[in-house]
Amino acid sequence: MTSPTAPILEVKNLSKRFGDRGRAGLFDINFSVAPGETLAIAGASGSGKTTLARLIMRLSDPDAGSIHLAGQDITDLHGERLRRRRNRFQMVFQNPLAAFNPRATVRSILEDPLRLHRLANPREYVGRITAALERVGLSANLIDRLPHALSGGQRQRVAIARAIMTKPDLIVLDEPVSALDVSVRARILNLLLDLKDETGVAFVFISHDLAVVRAFAERLIVLDDGRIAESGETETVLKAPKTTTTHALIEAVPRLIV
């Protein structure tokens, strides 16, 4: 039995090789996420952040190490057994347009999780979908729109609605606001913060933008070339960065010079 303070996600000695002749990769990654916590994983492109996200989401298999979700080892789960667990952990992708079947309406997109995990009977779908849309600040009359007919911010909200349909314990967010205008980012981040407060969901937030990380995450891991360069509480790491990678990431954030 898991105790109340047991981590919702534990990653132990995770390694995976990829790239040209397996030179790049993730090496010996260890961290954990407590229930309701937000952990940010920051790094430049090529640092392995997206590979790590896909490993956690079991979209690919690691070469070594293990992944534990709410105490259960999910590293070797495949097929039907894995699919049945998927309602507990969901993902929001970076490019909102690429994350949807171009021919699927909002209704169809949001029906999928209900149908796949049998969370409601078909008569209740519309009600649940409307409620989910309202929860993410969208009007119910978007229900029959196709993805290309929505704005970037609207699409990302639909993606978030899709992710919360199964009431997961953990959501992995892969650069969820990087593809959006800066003026839209605050709204989406606030939406995520509200959802966290309401449901107690844990977030793994992947980003290359430390300003956004600072506003959003309690703890931070900095990846460099597939290894953990630094980790700790966000404020602490940012105030006293110990590695050149962290320095570079801090320095890269555009500063508003008034």
Partner 1 sequence: MKFWRNLNWEGRVGAALLAVLILMALLASVLAPGDPLAISGDPLLRPFTVAAHPLGTDRLGRDVLAGLMHGTRTTLLVAFFSAAAALVVGSIVGTLAGFLGGVGDAILMRITEAFQTVPGFLLALAAISITGPSVPTLIFAISLGNWTQAARVTRAEVLSLRERDFVAAARTLGMHPLEIAFREILPNAYGPTGSLAAISVAAAILIEAALSFLGFGDPNRVTWGSMIAEGRTVLRSAPYLSIVPGIALVVTVLAVHLIGRGLFPSGRLQP
Partner 2 sequence: MSALYLRVTDLGVRYGETVALQEASLEINQGERLALIGESGSGKSTMAMAVAGLLPRGASVIGTLDFPVLGHSLRLGRDVGVLFQDPDGSLDPVMSVGDQIAEVAMMHQGIGWIAARVHAAELLGHVQIARPLTRLNSYPHEFSGGQKQRIALAIALAGNPSLLIADEPSSALDTVVQRHVVNLLDELVRERGMTLMFITHDIALASERADKIGVLYQGRLVEFGPAAEVLGSPRHAYTRALINTHISLDTPHSKRLPEIDKAGLV
Which residues of the shown chain bind partner 2 in the complex (CB under 8 A)?
Answer: 44-46, 151-152, 178, 181-187, 189-190, 193, 208-212, 214-215, 235, 238, 248-258
CB 156 within 8 A of CB 177: yes
Verify binding: residue 128, partner 1, rule CB under 8 A: no
Residues 6+ apart with CB under 8 A from 110: 128, 129, 132, 133, 158, 161, 162, 165
Task: Residue count of the chain, please give it.
Answer: 258
CB of 139 to partner 1, least distance (A): 23
The residue (of 96 and 113) whose beta carbon lies closer to partner 2 is 96
CB 128 within 8 A of CB 99: no
The residue (of 118 and 239) whose beta carbon lies closer to partner 1 is 118
Binding mask 27-66 for partner 1 (x = CB under 8 A): ---------------------------x--x-x-------
Contact pick of 31, 93, 203, 216 for partner 1 (by CB under 8 A): 93
Verify binding: residue 72, partner 1, rule CB under 8 A: no
Q: Which of 165, 163, 205, 164 is nearest to 185 (CA)?
A: 205
Verify binding: residue 8, partner 1, rule CB under 8 A: no
**Distance between CA atoms of residues 66 and 75, nearest Å:** 5
CB of 34 to partner 2, least distance (A): 19
Interaction with partner 1 in 146-205: which residues (CB under 8 A)? 162
**Distance between CA atoms of residues 251 and 245, nearest Å:** 10
**Distance between CA atoms of residues 204 and 90, nearest Å:** 10
CB of 220 to partner 2, least distance (A): 12
Q: List, as one string, the DSSP characters of 143-205.
A: TT--GGGS-HHHHHHHHHHHHHTT--SEEEEESTTTTS-HHHHHHHHHHHHHHHHHH--EEEE
CB of 42 to partner 2, least distance (A): 9
The residue (of 157 and 162) whose beta carbon lies closer to partner 1 is 162
Q: φ and ψ at 151, to 5 degrees?
A: -80, 165
253: partner contacted, choices partner 2, partner 1, none (Cβ within 5-8 A by kind): partner 2
102: partner contacted, choices partner 1, partner 2, none (Cβ within 5-8 A by kind): partner 1
First to last CA, the chain: 55
Per CB under 8 A, which region of 9-17, 95-103, 130-138, 191-199 contacts partner 1?
95-103
Contact residues for partner 1, defined by CB under 8 A: 54, 57, 59, 83-84, 86-87, 90-91, 93-95, 98-103, 112-113, 116-117, 162
